[in-house]
Structure 1
Amino acid sequence: MIYILTGAIRSGKTTALLNWSKNRNDVDGVLCPDDANGKRYFLKLKSEITFKLEAEAEKEAIVAIGNFKFLQSAFNEANDYLTLEASKTETKYLIIDEIGKLELKNEGLHISTEALSAQFGSKDNTHLILVVRDYLLDAVLEYYGITECAILTTEDLENLI
């Protein structure tokens, strides 16, 4: 089953997922919170391992969108991690935070989103949670061919068992 957590920019989607998952042992995936300086980073949920997402120097391989410059190596690590975790049986929920404009251009977390949305679409006992901004929801559904899913808001997370 695929769940799509949607809402406006900076509406608390990532924070809600952090709070919902903190006392669970059946959730994994990659979240993308901000640090104290407002810089985005990736968080491997179950292990709590973090790694830098925003590029600080032009000498590194980057992916740019708007004013943001992200490390290609961070997306590679996140995609690899998500693909690996999807094969583990103890994970009931796998989170990809977030699917946006980069993914719609075959960049960012596109590789894992494409593979896992096809894989999880027909499963009943394991679930994929995709985080998508509200204004991109229809485009993401169409782009990834997602026809069966449940749309969630941050308030709906409490009802997931």
Structure 2
Amino acid sequence: MIYILTGPVRTGKTTALFHWTSGRQDTDGLLCPDDSDGKRYFFQLALQQQLRLEATDLTESSDIITIGRFHFLKSAFTAANAYLIEAAGKECRYLVIDEIGKLELENQGLHPAAETLITQRQFHEKLHVILVVRDTLITEVLMHYTIKFFRLITGQKLTTLR
């Protein structure tokens, strides 16, 4: 089953997932919070480790993807995709991808892992994917990934998932 955690930008979707995943043994994937300096990073749930996402030095231009005001490291996406695809081989009940956005709609960013996980788990009864998608991109994401069976949830409704 595909669950789509949605809401406007900066309304606590990632924070809600942090709380919901805390202490769970049946969940893996990536969250994308901000650090104390406002820089985004990937947080690997099962490993409880951070992976730098935002470029701090724009001279690394061959390793940078720019979208809007953000400058992301291509190498971080490579590592994040590998992590998610490896996690898909395990029998964890929920896999989280935070987030599916404009980059993924251009077949970049976390697109390779998203495509794999959605295809693998869309019709599965016991293994699920939780996609974080801002409310303004839901229709585009559903069309891009040909998602036909899904459930929309908000951060407050996460607790209904067992």
The TM tier, using the shorter chain, reads over 0.9
Percent pairwise identity = 51
Q: CA deviation at 1:57?
A: 1.7
Name 1:71's counterpart in structure 2. Answer: 73
Name 2:160's counterpart in structure 1. Answer: 159
Name 1:44's counterpart in structure 2. Answer: 44
Name 1:94's counterpart in structure 2. Answer: 95
Aligned mates of 2:108, 2:48 — CA distance in 1: 24
User: Given residue 98 of structure 2, which amino acid in structure 1 is its aligned partner?
Assistant: D
Structural RMSD (CA): 0.7
Q: CA deviation at 1:59?
A: 3.2
Name 2:8's counterpart in structure 1. Answer: 8
1:28-80 Cα shifts (integer Å, max 9, x gaps): 10000000111000000111110100011223211100111000000000000
User: Given residue 128 of structure 1, which amino acid in structure 2 is its aligned partner?
Assistant: V
Aligned mates of 2:153, 2:71 — CA distance in 1: 29
Q: How does 1:135-146 map to 2 (within 5 A)?
A: 135-146=136-147
Aligned mates of 2:3, 2:13 — CA distance in 1: 13
Aligned partners of 2:123 and 2:149 also within 8 Å: no
Aligned partners of 2:5 and 2:155 also within 8 Å: yes
Aligned mates of 1:126, 1:119 — CA distance in 2: 9
Name 2:86's counterpart in structure 1. Answer: 84
Name 2:118's counterpart in structure 1. Answer: 117
2:150 pairs with 1:149: yes
User: Given residue 111 of structure 2, which amino acid in structure 1 is its aligned partner?
Assistant: H
Aligned mates of 2:90, 2:116 — CA distance in 1: 15
Aligned mates of 2:41, 2:98 — CA distance in 1: 11
Unaligned runs of 5+ in 2: none
Aligned mates of 1:98, 1:81 — CA distance in 2: 15
User: Given residue 17 of structure 1, which amino acid in structure 2 is its aligned partner?
Assistant: L
Name 2:26's counterpart in structure 1. Answer: 26
Aligned mates of 1:115, 1:88 — CA distance in 2: 14
Give structure 1 regions of 4+ aligned residues with deviation exceeding 2 angstroms: none
Aligned mates of 1:160, 1:44 — CA distance in 2: 20
User: Given residue 144 of structure 2, which amino acid in structure 1 is its aligned partner?
Assistant: Y
